[in-house]
Amino acid sequence: MPYVIAAACIDVTDRSCMDECPVDCIYEGARKLYINPLECIDCGACEPACPVEAISQDRAVPEGQEAFVDDNARFFELPLPGRSEPLERPGGATGLGALGVDTEFVRSYPGPPEETP
């Protein structure tokens, strides 16, 4: 059961979870972070580190956020914008750095409401 990062991470990307991950399997997109399900060892170290509680096991995502399970996998299975090949299993996020792109699902996900003066 790999872990998944859901909606609460969008436009927050605190990165505390990245510091706790012993296998470096949390990758940075433009609007949120993604856990590589092929590299995750299911240790759970990332979950309590997340200040917005965006991380859960793939079978325990918050109600209404089930789409993030498949979307998280798509981040690694399909070519991202500007890339000709999927990431698949690159062997660690540190070497890649921030990727600056997201899946179509996250790119089109509504942002926080704008404050009115």
d(CA 49, CA 45): 7
Cβ-based burial of 82 (10 A; exposed 0-12, middle 13-18, buried ≥19): exposed
Pairing assessment for the beta strands 26-28 and 55-57 based on DSSP bridges: unpaired
Sequence-separated (6 or more) residues with CB below 8 Å from residue 83: 101
Q: What is the pLDDT along the chain (117 residues), one digit of tens a residue?
A: 699 999 999 999 899 999 999 999 999 999 999 999 999 999 999 999 999 999 999 999 999 999 999 999 999 999 998 899 999 999 999 999 999 999 999 999 997 655 555
CATH of the domain spanning 3-84: 3.30.70.20
Integer Cα distance of 38 and 60 in angstroms: 18
Q: Does the reported pTM lie above 0.85?
A: yes
